[in-house]
């Protein structure tokens, strides 16, 4: 009953949008929240294997194998850009950000400084010798190793000694030999980063932020920022004395839920609104507003770093999951960008958030053809960039606790989503009536 109730949020709006439009045929590769939302959406029907479809929430494996071999009609939409990995694979993300930063250095030092939001990073094994030189300059520093194409904390480990890297290389050789049944010198590609050893702590525990950005076009760049997201906490108090303890250092839910004392009902998450209230109480409104606004630079600069190399396609959109860490100096760090952020709910609150997120995503993609294309807010999504920064309307009252922002972003701020969707519908209906 609760699930059905949550899926009805904004449903009256969707039914009105559907109106007399044709049926939307969809396919879905995932059996989680997105499947629930698609099946409950008015006017949408699931396409069976072998049948034509209008909308496909595919996985990246299907994209890689099929994108270049099928014809898609004008109206068809799929949920990934062809080479999304330029931003979502850890080594390529850093490579592209470094290139943008170097380019900006030639044009403007102040703009280049806005790219200082990713840790010192090297790709291994290709940059192993460069890394060793840097490692020797900073004895005792903690580093973190991450496989470039894995998720949920798999394969990640921290180290202080080069000996640990040597062991990793040997293990890589051995694993590859056993898997391929042949002699090989290949080692899985990793990145190694200077570990951020001074995270902002709440209750002595480390956390990072999961934030959602929807890109509907790269040419021109059009990006939407979702107001809701969450902080993911570790299950154990932070310390650098035990760098082998994943429950201390990795905030991934897939890792934390295996902790012996993990409570699935309570979870290890705060909403961005909860976090904003906490930080505001401790540091003041202006300071926290600046922190949240600085995130805009991370979103836009990271998207601009790949704008010229992403293969833009009118059939494609991407819902990115950004992972960002706040340190004890209130500085923000981009950890990674996910092309397939988890849509499996860990509890009821998480389910509510993801239902709203996905319904609003579908509303923006607008398979029904009901929007004007000039909207600056749809549900909990605010238009952040449209071939340039999007500015807030004068007199906006959405940002609780202070004046409206210069830019049209309200991360962690209150919004009555259902009311906004109904207002949007009435506005569209009035425009149609006036035009008629």
Mean pLDDT for the stretch of residues 336-365 = 93
Instruction: Say if 201 falls within a structural domain.
Output: no
Q: What is the predicted pLDDT for the residue at 260?
A: 67
Instruction: Say if 373 falls within a structural domain.
Output: yes
User: Are the C-beta atoms of 302 and 97 separated by less than 8 Å?
Assistant: yes
Q: Are residues 361 and 218 both part of a single domain? A: yes
Mean pLDDT for the stretch of residues 54-58 = 96
* CATH number of the domain bearing residue 287: 3.30.470.20
Q: Which domain holds residue 54?
A: 2-83
Is pLDDT of 393 > 90?
A: no
Q: What is the predicted pLDDT for the residue at 235?
A: 85
Q: What is the predicted pLDDT for the residue at 269?
A: 86
Mean pLDDT lowest for which of 30-34, 41-45, 264-268, 280-284? 264-268
Average pLDDT score, the chain = 85
Q: Are residues 212 and 355 both part of a single domain? A: yes
Is pLDDT of 265 > 80?
A: no
Both tokens assigned to 17: 């949008």
Closest by Cα among 380, 396, 222 to 299: 222
What is the length of the chain?
436
Domain boundary among 83, 110, 130: 83
Instruction: Say if 41 falls within a structural domain.
Output: yes
Instruction: Say if 376 falls within a structural domain.
Output: yes
With 0-12 CB in 10 A as exposed, 13-18 as middle and 19+ as buried, what is 326?
A: buried
How far is 112 from 301, CA to CA, in rounded Å? 10
CA distances from 138 to 132, 158, 160, 161 (A): 10, 15, 10, 11
Is pLDDT of 390 > 80?
A: yes
Q: In this predicted model, which residue has the larger pLDDT, 13 or 50?
A: 50
pTM exceeds 0.75, yes or no: yes
Instruction: Say if 60 falls within a structural domain.
Output: yes
Domain boundary among 36, 53, 83: 83
Q: What is the DSSP letter of 312?
A: -
Q: Are residues 270 and 409 both part of a single domain? A: yes
Q: What is the predicted pLDDT for the residue at 85?
A: 94
Pairing of strands 55-57, 77-78: parallel
Q: What is the predicted pLDDT for the residue at 2?
A: 40
Q: What is the predicted pLDDT for the residue at 172?
A: 55
How far is 224 from 369, CA to CA, in rounded Å? 18
- pLDDT per position as a tens digit, 196-242: 999 999 999 999 999 999 999 999 999 999 999 999 998 889 999 98
Q: What percentage of the chain carries pLDDT values higher than 70?
A: 85
Number of domains within the chain: 2
125 preceded by a cis bond (ω within 30 of 0): yes
How far is 197 from 117, CA to CA, in rounded Å? 15
pLDDT band at 433 (very low <50, low <70, confident <90, very high): confident
Dihedrals phi, psi of 284, to nearest 5 degrees: 95, 155
Computed on alpha carbons and rounded to an integer, the radius of gyration of the chain in Å comes to 23
Q: What number of other Cβ atoms are within 10 A of residue 261's Cβ? A: 7
Instruction: Say if 364 falls within a structural domain.
Output: yes
- pLDDT per position as a tens digit, 271-299: 999 999 999 999 999 999 889 888 999 99
Instruction: Say if 349 falls within a structural domain.
Output: yes
Q: What is the predicted pLDDT for the residue at 252?
A: 75
Instruction: Say if 221 falls within a structural domain.
Output: yes
Q: Are residues 221 and 73 both part of a single domain? A: no
Mean pLDDT for the stretch of residues 254-260 = 71
Mean pLDDT lowest for which of 7-11, 210-214, 329-333, 347-351? 7-11
Is pLDDT of 180 > 60?
A: no
Domain boundary among 37, 54, 83: 83
């Amino acid at each position: 009953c609760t699930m059905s109730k949550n899926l009805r949020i904004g449903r009256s709006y969707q039914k009105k949008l559907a109106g007399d439009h044709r049926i939307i045929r969809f396919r879905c590769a995932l059996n989680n929240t997105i499947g629930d939302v698609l099946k409950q959406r008015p006017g949408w029907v699931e396409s069976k294997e072998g049948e034509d479809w209008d909308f496909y929430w595919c996985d990246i494996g299907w994209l890689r194998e099929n994108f270049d071999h099928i014809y898609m009609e004008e109206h068809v939409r799929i949920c990934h850009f062809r080479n999304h990995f330029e931003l979502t694979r850890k080594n390529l993300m850093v490579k592209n950000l470094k290139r943008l930063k170097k380019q900006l250095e030639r044009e403007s030092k102040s703009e280049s400084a806005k790219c200082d939001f990713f840790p010192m990073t090297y790709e291994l094994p290709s940059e192993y010798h460069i890394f060793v030189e840097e490692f020797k300059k900073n004895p005792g520093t903690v580093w973190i190793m991450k496989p470039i194409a894995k998720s949920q904390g798999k394969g990640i480990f921290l180290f202080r000694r080069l000996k640990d890297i040597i062991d990793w290389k040997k293990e890589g050789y051995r694993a590859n030999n056993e898997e391929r049944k042949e002699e090989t010198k290949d080692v899985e590609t990793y990145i190694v980063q200077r570990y951020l050893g001074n995270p902002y702590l709440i209750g002595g525990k480390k956390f990072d932020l999961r934030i959602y950005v929807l890109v509907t076009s790269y040419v021109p760049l059009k990006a939407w920022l979702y107001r809701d997201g969450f902080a993911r906490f570790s299950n154990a108090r932070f310390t650098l004395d035990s760098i082998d303890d994943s429950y201390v250092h990795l905030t991934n839910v897939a890792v934390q839920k295996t902790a012996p004392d993990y409570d699935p009902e309570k979870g290890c998450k705060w909403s961005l609104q909860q976090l904003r209230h906490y930080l505001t109480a401790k540091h003041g409104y202006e300071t926290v507003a600046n922190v949240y606004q600085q995130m805009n630079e991370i979103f836009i600069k990271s998207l601009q770093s790949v704008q010229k190399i992403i293969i833009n396609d009118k059939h494609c959109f991407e819902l990115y999951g950004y992972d960002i860490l706040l340190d004890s100096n209130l500085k923000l760090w981009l950890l990674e960008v996910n092309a397939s952020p988890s849509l499996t709910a860990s509890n009821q609150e998480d389910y509510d958030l993801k239902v709203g997120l996905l319904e609003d995503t579908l509303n923006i993609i607008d398979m029904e053809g009901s929007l004007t294309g000039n909207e600056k807010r749809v549900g909990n999504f605010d238009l952040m960039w449209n071939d340039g920064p999007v500015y807030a309307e004068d007199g906006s009252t959405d940002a609780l606790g202070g004046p409206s922002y210069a830019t049209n972003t309200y991360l962690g701020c209150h919004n009555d989503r259902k009311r906004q969707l109904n207002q949007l519908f009435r506005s569209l209906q009035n425009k149609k009536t006036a035009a008629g």
